[in-house]
Structure 1
């Protein structure tokens, strides 16, 4: 007897935009800083024609398209144009240095780079370091004052010209749902950057996590402002979740100052907005300075860094919104937990509960699960269909024998299942939602002849979450100014990595192993 079975239906990401185009075709997609307005039906048609253009440039299924771009309609078109035909979208962070980005691009084998305007010096430097790049596509038109990059060894296209010359309809889908869809490196700030590959299936499942009622719970009635960059773990999944339900999608472009966001929220009647806390601090600072209200806004979704309780209270009171805090990682696609909008008690330290599809576990330092998961602090491990199993290019799995991924975070889980991150086993510093790697700063400063020992630790900061503090032990009899130390770093790390404070110690505290005692330094200077 034939048992029967459901239809095969590959969970590929093109289906989200195809659904939006068919059932919510007139719902708008708006770009703020370089004003553009379209709808899902038009965006789907342009994306599909752009797929044909990418084929004409020589990209094929499994190749990596690099994007160095802000949150815009054109960036969305590139995403779906690539993913629709099995090309992997490799998002790059414009806030990193060309050296960091080049390391990532060499490993990904990028041959085509799509870029936003306003990045000419970075693009020129990057292409010079990446001779494999054959085509550079300018996807956004900025102000007339924006320079156009001069690229040697690669052909420069403007998106309109590329579509006019090579745009052609393409067949979307038709490949395995486990095929890679996206590649995101962990900011290039952990020495050798680690790449996380997202498959069509993993991102499809992640979208179902986001849309659960106790998570983001978006609907077709929402107008969603995505202030989290699309190069941060796929924009937290909003470019998939919004079209999946037919929500209006509002993209700010490169302008995310308080005045620009206030104007955009008011004009587009935004109901839900997502981004790191520092973005919303700028918004309320602007409103306090000039006055005004944003009555359409109902919810703020925060992530990236721990949110001080005072800031969360200020946001809720000044904007009249519900703030939902969250926790996640690039390796999780990125959602790990979120506070429900209906939570009776709102505590900034809590990151909420995991959605269906993500499981959490606390262990001791040796990896043995705590007998009582709801009392005491432990090391946090994660498992799920949208959690990394193996880093890009690695032979070894990133999970243990039972499939658990070690986040490197310390956490507690209360009786109601609320996760609270209590610390990090890693030394990375998270500033404004971006990672800073102390080891790179330490390596540069440690090479100065005047320095005997050096360490960098994070110090709590009301606006940015954390900022780096540089601690040095000068060599006997040597002197070096603060400006000389900072000058040693300028041009070798991103400007926002530069330490906020420099401390000199006659003798660096050492642990029993002989290593610098960073725990003591954090207690003294953090």
Structure 2
């Protein structure tokens, strides 16, 4: 069968090659045919049930779910909203939608109803799929979003919640929908450039903006992830996806695992240290992927219990900059190699990854794979003549980089296709990227700039410091002054100031050191500096 636009039969049109659209359903079809013993596993929390399905069964269920969705009136070009934690049921829905040309608009359950409703209305979503614990939110969203015609409650192990009451809008459970309406469906038959997904940015720098993902871009990202110097996944791996599927497509793991035939393990909404330890040990996880805060909880549990995780070989970190002390702690306590990475929703999300051979270095975020290009520019957007060993504003372009945000016609890139990431960065002689801060986080004090990232890197390496952030506090004389916010009680104020003394200019020294019991996190798992500014950014002398 020839997919995409009608083929004329002229082999010269394709350079003598077969027409083969790079659509995402092919990953699951490949896994079902060539890795039939590969599995998707979902944990139900500590002591809860563990559900598993081999790829052939998962492919069959997803395909029949496509038929069920079609019976509800969904068709190519429609969008569905998914408000759910990681699970087999969630992955089945993804592939059911992908196979029929329906786009999955992923939503973060940690957002408020008003923000979720605004995104759903913008996307014109036709169906709302939820985890069982999101019933109350679903009831509010249906009232606020008249375009939602159906509600689907996904399967999750051990989830015992009452179904939502959505009035005249029908509510289906995944199990009932498959039993009553599931039927085989012909996957594919459309262009690889069709939209496969929609993900909104976290909104930490303003209103969230939607990033549409095509089948083609996600397919190409997947091929990059499988490279040996990126994630290097193979069929012998068991991968714990602790990164949520609503964070830029779960960093591509629901595509990369079946593409390689690897076993994929979901922890659902149970990301506490005890649940993760039990799941890693019970399933023999070899690679674990997530933001640093997840692994902090796991380490604290292991240190309290003395447990070990002998199968685990690698941990891949993303999100905020990671102090070297935390990487050393993870590597020594878990006996693993830590790969650092950098990416964005706008990059689908792969930017750079530290190769396994260079793992354990917090100072770098790795190198870009083929298909991703980087450059450094000055504050006016002019390319720096020297690209190595200097700090500049980071720009990126490539096949999986955003061109226009959802619903906007004005490009998000310049005339050459470069996207301004908003990050400050350096690139070393070997091509390793290091994120040194966010341009928006720079603090202008007395007309001079202070880079919070440099202070954070020093303080984050002190013993007993879990998380650290530097923000600007309004100041009547100097406009802004730095304030240091810390989670962790290990280092005294005197020790912190001593560590900074001589390492940064004296006028960079924070005016205050604030301690919090728990650092506020944005929906991506990064430190929410907006929340910190609201709490600590007011001038104590003037209240402004």
Q: TM-score, normalised by structure 1?
A: 0.82
- Structure 1 residues 79 and 503, CA gap change in structure 2 (3 angstroms): closer
User: 146, 166, 170: which is aligned to 2:181?
Assistant: 166
Which SS does the other structure have where 2:101 is aligned? coil
2: distance between equivalents of 1:363 and 1:83? 38
> How far off is 1:148 after superposition?
2.5
Q: Residue 19 in 1 paired to residue 30 in 2?
A: yes
Partner of 1:228: 243
Q: Which runs of 5 or more structure 2 residues have no equivalent in the other structure?
A: 1-9, 443-451, 454-468, 489-527
- Structure 1 residues 189 and 58, CA gap change in structure 2 (3 angstroms): farther
- Structure 1 residues 99 and 455, CA gap change in structure 2 (3 angstroms): farther
1: distance between equivalents of 2:84 and 2:74? 19
Q: Residue 290 in 1 paired to residue 336 in 2?
A: no
User: 25, 28, 47: which is aligned to 2:39?
Assistant: 28
Partner of 2:430: 416
Partner of 2:362: 348
User: 197, 200, 206: which is aligned to 1:185?
Assistant: 200
Partner of 1:219: 234
Partner of 1:271: 286
1: distance between equivalents of 2:280 and 2:141? 35
1:86-485 matches, cutoff 5 A? 86-141=101-156, 143=158, 145-343=160-358, 346-427=360-441, 461=486
Partner of 2:21: 10
Which SS does the other structure have where 1:407 is aligned? strand
Q: Which runs of 5 or more structure 1 residues have no equivalent in the other structure?
A: 431-435, 443-453, 464-495, 510-515, 517-526
1: distance between equivalents of 2:537 and 2:217? 45
Query: Is the 1:118–1:142 contact (alpha carbons within 8 Å) kept by the matching residues of 2?
Result: no
- Structure 1 residues 238 and 377, CA gap change in structure 2 (3 angstroms): same
Which SS does the other structure have where 1:410 is aligned? strand
Once the two structures are superposed, residues 90-129 of structure 1 have per-residue CA deviations (whole angstroms, 9 ceiling, x without a partner) of 1000011011111100000012011001122222222221
Which SS does the other structure have where 1:119 is aligned? helix
Which SS does the other structure have where 2:357 is aligned? coil
Partner of 2:500: none
2: distance between equivalents of 1:208 and 1:421? 25
1: distance between equivalents of 2:427 and 2:143? 49
Query: Is the 2:315–2:336 contact (alpha carbons within 8 Å) kept by the matching residues of 1?
Result: yes
> How far off is 1:132 after superposition?
1.6
User: 45, 65, 68: which is aligned to 1:50?
Assistant: 65
1: distance between equivalents of 2:183 and 2:482? 52
Which SS does the other structure have where 1:352 is aligned? coil
Query: Is the 2:343–2:352 contact (alpha carbons within 8 Å) kept by the matching residues of 1?
Result: yes
2: distance between equivalents of 1:282 and 1:418? 29
Query: Is the 1:427–1:457 contact (alpha carbons within 8 Å) kept by the matching residues of 2?
Result: no
1: distance between equivalents of 2:296 and 2:159? 30
> How far off is 1:461 after superposition?
4.2
> How far off is 1:457 after superposition?
9.0
Query: Is the 2:210–2:406 contact (alpha carbons within 8 Å) kept by the matching residues of 1?
Result: yes
> How far off is 1:152 after superposition?
2.6
Once the two structures are superposed, residues 216-269 of structure 1 have per-residue CA deviations (whole angstroms, 9 ceiling, x without a partner) of 000000000000000000000000000001000101111010000000000100
Which SS does the other structure have where 2:365 is aligned? strand
> How far off is 1:18 after superposition?
0.3
Q: TM-score, normalised by structure 2?
A: 0.80
User: 61, 81, 85: which is aligned to 1:66?
Assistant: 81
Which SS does the other structure have where 2:290 is aligned? strand
Which SS does the other structure have where 1:31 is aligned? strand
Query: Is the 1:93–1:187 contact (alpha carbons within 8 Å) kept by the matching residues of 2?
Result: no
- Structure 1 residues 112 and 459, CA gap change in structure 2 (3 angstroms): farther
Once the two structures are superposed, residues 415-438 of structure 1 have per-residue CA deviations (whole angstroms, 9 ceiling, x without a partner) of 1111011111235999xxxxx9x9
2: distance between equivalents of 1:150 and 1:455? 50
1: distance between equivalents of 2:344 and 2:103? 20
User: 505, 510, 513: which is aligned to 2:539?
Assistant: 505
- Structure 1 residues 2 and 206, CA gap change in structure 2 (3 angstroms): closer
Which SS does the other structure have where 2:421 is aligned? strand
The number of aligned residues is 460
- Structure 1 residues 379 and 190, CA gap change in structure 2 (3 angstroms): closer
Which SS does the other structure have where 2:271 is aligned? coil
Return 127-136 or 168-177, whichever deviates more: 127-136
> How far off is 1:140 after superposition?
2.2
2: distance between equivalents of 1:276 and 1:120? 27
2: distance between equivalents of 1:36 and 1:330? 30
> How far off is 1:174 after superposition?
0.9
Which SS does the other structure have where 1:350 is aligned? coil
Which SS does the other structure have where 2:91 is aligned? helix
